[in-house]
Chain A
Amino acid sequence: MTKAHDVLFRTLADPTRRAIFERLCRKGEQTVGALTAQAGVSQPAVSKHLAALKLAGLVRDRHEGRQTHYSAQLGALAPLIDWTSRMTGFWQGRFDDLENLLKRMDQ
């Protein structure tokens, strides 16, 4: 697994963080306050999750006055949703297992 995958996987494995990200995907740009109102956790916790999402490239922030608006960056999901690369990895693994099986099989 590549490092980029690793960061994405780890970032999105947290259910609260993923819920915040999914809300941004569904509803578009949101302020920290609006996200906190629905997240069921404190604003500092939401801000911490947003910082992690930003680090993974999954959200972008925009400052407007005293408010910070966050939006989802779907492009950052590309490594996860690229069908071709995912399937190639899948088949490479299957070929490895097939080779192991052939070694164990009788002629």
Chain B
Amino acid sequence: MSESETRSIVVERELPHPPEKIWRALTQPHLIEEWLMKNDFKPAVNHRFTLRGDWGAVDCRVLSMEPHKSLSYTWGAMGLESVVSWTLTPTATGTHLRMEQTGFRPDQNQAYQGAKFGWQRFLANLEQVLARTE
């Protein structure tokens, strides 16, 4: 692994909707809540916001945005910082939506290891989840 290499994941999907509509779903708090989490998002660079799920909160800050085209924000959860970047590309039938989450650099490995052993908390939550699903 090179020094600059990071752990990252990419999820992409072709959506039969125009970029403008998807942009609304990505940037309007009441819509974000419907597919992601409760939030106090504002479409402004450097705005700090929090995503709240049943299992905890994610601390975020808007890094960059270009309406209907791209949006990125930091994603801090369980002591780890990553960056979530959305890219919207118009296609003949709608939009190609791409999400890339870039994780920890090797020099953040200590934090990564720390999170690994933060599993006790994760398992505690798990018990509650299982209780609900049974």
Contacts and interface: CB of A to CB of B under 8 A. Distances in A.
B50 interface: no
Interface in B42-62: none
A94 B84 CA distance: 13
Given A15-B127, A101-B25, A83 B115 contact: yes
Interface string B1-30: 000000101010101011001101100000
Contacts, number: 69
B9 A102 contact: no
> In which size bucket is the chain A interface?
20 to 34
Given A94-B35, A95-B97, A105-B31, 12 more contacts: A12-B126, A22-B120, A77-B119, A80-B123, A83-B7, A83-B115, A84-B7, A87-B9, A98-B35, A102-B25, A105-B24, A105-B25
Contacts of A95: 11, 13, 97, 99
Contacts of A107: 18, 21
Contact of A94 (B7, B36, B122): B36
Nearest to B115: A83
